[in-house]
Amino acid sequence: MMITFPHLRVWLAVLVATVLTACASPIVTQVSNFNQWPSDATGSNFTFIKPRSSASQPPPELELATYQAYAEQELKKLGLQRAPPGQAARLLVELGWISQPQDRTYRQPIYDDRLVFYPPYRNAAGQVFPGYWAPSRFGPAYLGDRLVAYTVQFNQINLRILDNQGSPPGQPRAVFESHAVYEGQATLPTMAPYLVRAVFDSFPGQNGQVRHVKFDRETGAVIRK
């Protein structure tokens, strides 16, 4: 497939526009929310519990503590306080995550951009013009699609809040469950602050709702549009 210089300039313009769009595009997270949040929870204390995981692969302690610190900041904004060590807490907060590469595919259109030959011709005055090669006056010919594989980084923060009050001893009931997902090129340590904030955005939110929470890539502020 041949690309002429005019076509090359077009492709470069498209590439530059794509790069600029990517730089300006927001960080988009998808958040699911399930809750039966108690109306009297304001002012209650909470503590973190270790997320459920296999004994052979416990969560990294420092990484877990970092993400829990993000969650603690958001919980305090809600009027909740972390219980002192050794003190029983009403609310138990469980934070876990999934971070792994995932394969994706998309359909890419294929076009034939080769030059076509225009034969010699004679005009009404008898002048003869030689044949020449040039791009088709109809534009590149569409040939079909091909599947293109690529890899994205799948990052998900899972957060549950359990309530001891009004529950049988040792059987706290779930009052809030949320999952925030981001797919792109960034790793979880980079995206975790946004994912945790997305979980608590408009807390406790509408039960059973799945929505998108967007962040400005430069300022980190939630986009409310």
Residues 31, 9: Cα–Cα separation, whole Å: 41
Residues 56, 124: Cα–Cα separation, whole Å: 87
| Cis before 204? omega within 30 | yes
At residue 73, the 3 state secondary structure works out as helix
Other C-beta atoms closer than 10 Å to the C-beta of 199 total 26
| Tokens at 52, concatenated | 């459920």
Residues 53, 44: Cα–Cα separation, whole Å: 27
| Burial (Cβ within 10 Å: 0-12, 13-18, ≥19) of residue 55 | exposed
Q: What is the pLDDT of residues 51-72, one digit of tens each?
A: 887 555 678 899 999 999 999 9
13 contact partners, CB below 8 Å, separation of at least 6: none
Residues 108, 151: Cα–Cα separation, whole Å: 16
Position 47 scores a pLDDT of: 98
Position 4 scores a pLDDT of: 42
Position 200 scores a pLDDT of: 98
- pLDDT lower than 50: segments of the chain: 1-8, 10-11, 14, 21
Position 153 scores a pLDDT of: 96
At residue 14, the 3 state secondary structure works out as helix
Angle at CA 59, nearest 5°, toward 54 and 63? 170
Position 211 scores a pLDDT of: 97
DSSP assigned state of 137: T
Position 10 scores a pLDDT of: 46
Position 52 scores a pLDDT of: 80
Residues 46, 88: Cα–Cα separation, whole Å: 8
* Domains along the sequence of the chain with CATH: 26-106+148-215 (3.30.160.670), 111-146 (no CATH)
